[in-house]
Amino acid sequence: MGEETPEDAGVEPPYLDLERLEGGALELLPADVFDYYAGGAESETTLREAPGSWRSWRLRPRVLRGVTSVPLDTELLGSPVRSPIGVAPWAYQGMAHPDGELATARGAAAAGSLMTVSTSATHTLEEVAAAAAGSPAWFQLYRLHSGAHTDDLARRAGAAGYAALVLTVDLPLLGRRRRDLRHDFALPAGLRMANHPADGDRPSLQDLATATWTFDDIARFGDLSGLPVVVKGVLRGDDATRCVQAGAAAVWVSTHGGRQVDPAVASAHALPEVVDAVGDEVEVYADGGIRSGSDVLTALALGARAVFVGRPTIWGLATGGADGVAGVLTGLGEELAHTMALCGVTDVRSVPRDTVVPAR
């Protein structure tokens, strides 16, 4: 997927039917598990509005640019990847497929995409790193446990070969997820929580509260892990600036999949403010409702270095394991390359800002 041939640049990509994939996952998964993955917080306004928010921008194609190839290769914090479309962290993937995060890691590696591995994985961070087979991966850190255990996870991530540590900062406590409350959702008995303390209690999804994050944690966890730190969950320019001043190597614009504050500003609308605030000092990423190649191109034009997808990869995992994950990521990449060719854009690393304008 790194680069299309001249013949490929004008070829329509295969149709990626994410609605069909989601429907397949609905048929395969228990209702409470499907709703755990699919649901958002409160009235789910943030969740519903996310995909449409990318369509609130319009592409302005260039013509007569002689586009014959569309490379998707880029670098994320110095790590080469074959696509600017990565996998967002998602908890408890063993509920979606027996191989869980191992299958996701294999699928991401096959697609040339970077995977972000959740603290709440059903395989140890070392096992998932090994499954990635040398493909770059990041480890996402929550403070779900004692300070000592959280510090140990950060050190283990550095030792296991992860390329960055992602601090998720938008979860001082769990959002009210009404679907989970309706189901009285509980994690399945026997589900492995591989990165939790061996003698720790199973966490309550409804009453979860974490230790308070501060800007000082950015440098501290960087020092502990020896890794660059990405701060995930930023929706404001002033917060982004403070993260950079505190030592962040990158900021990640995210609404946590619509699972925390509701209603919150959409990532597609927060992204320009964050990019303007940090300028060229650090890389900026985005997630939240990315469902097509044109959505990806819009995010890149607004200043994102890369985007990350969550639910589409979960539906791919549930319906097809590693191949399903690879199919979703590859399909989105093919759509991106096709849309870039149509718009006369040739490099994902330097998409002009005036490629998009607000819809009128």
The CATH code of the domain that includes 122 is: 3.20.20.70
Task: Establish whether 149 is a catalytic residue.
Answer: no
Does residue 359 lie within any of the structural domains? no
Assess whether pLDDT exceeds 50 at residue 1: no
Q: Residue 13: name the closest of 352, 327, 351 by CA.
A: 327
Assess whether pLDDT exceeds 70 at residue 3: no
Which pLDDT score is estimated for 22? 96
pTM check: above 0.85: yes
Q: Using CA atoms, how far apart are residues 104 and 324, in angstroms rounded to an integer? A: 9
Residue 70 amino acid letter? V
Assess whether pLDDT exceeds 50 at residue 152: yes
Segment 182-194 mean pLDDT: 91
Q: What percent of the chain has pLDDT over 70?
A: 92
Does residue 10 lie within any of the structural domains? no
- Residue 251 pLDDT level (bands cut at 50, 70, 90): very high
Segment 28-33 mean pLDDT: 97
Domain range for 54: 21-196+208-345
Q: Which residues are annotated as a binding site for FMN?
A: 89-91, 118, 140, 168, 232, 254, 287-291, 310-311
Q: Which residues are annotated as a binding site?
A: 36, 89-91, 118, 140, 142, 168, 177, 232, 254, 256, 259, 287-291, 310-311
Task: Give me 324's structure tokens.
Answer: 């399903």
Which pLDDT score is estimated for 120? 94
Q: Using CA atoms, how far apart are residues 262 and 283, in angstroms rounded to an integer? A: 26
Does residue 358 lie within any of the structural domains? no
Does residue 153 lie within any of the structural domains? yes
Does residue 218 lie within any of the structural domains? yes
- Residue 199 pLDDT level (bands cut at 50, 70, 90): low
Does residue 14 lie within any of the structural domains? no
What confidence tens digit (pLDDT) does each residue in 217-250 have?
Answer: 999 999 999 999 999 999 999 999 999 999 999 9
What confidence tens digit (pLDDT) does each residue in 63-114 have?
Answer: 998 887 899 999 999 999 999 999 999 999 999 999 999 999 999 999 999 9
Which pLDDT score is estimated for 68? 78
Q: How many structural domains is the chain composed of?
A: 1
Average pLDDT for the chain: 91
Assess whether pLDDT exceeds 70 at residue 201: no
Segment 31-58 mean pLDDT: 95
Assess whether pLDDT exceeds 80 at residue 171: yes
Assess whether pLDDT exceeds 80 at residue 6: no
Q: Using CA atoms, how far apart are residues 298 and 85, in angstroms rounded to an integer? A: 13
Which pLDDT score is estimated for 146? 78
Does residue 9 lie within any of the structural domains? no
Task: Give me 36's structure tokens.
Answer: 């755990």
Length of the chain, in residues: 360
Does residue 360 lie within any of the structural domains? no
Residue from 123, 256, 269, 338 carrying the catalytic annotation: 256
Q: Which residues are annotated as a binding site for glyoxylate?
A: 36, 142, 177, 256, 259
- Residue 40 pLDDT level (bands cut at 50, 70, 90): very high
Which pLDDT score is estimated for 97? 97
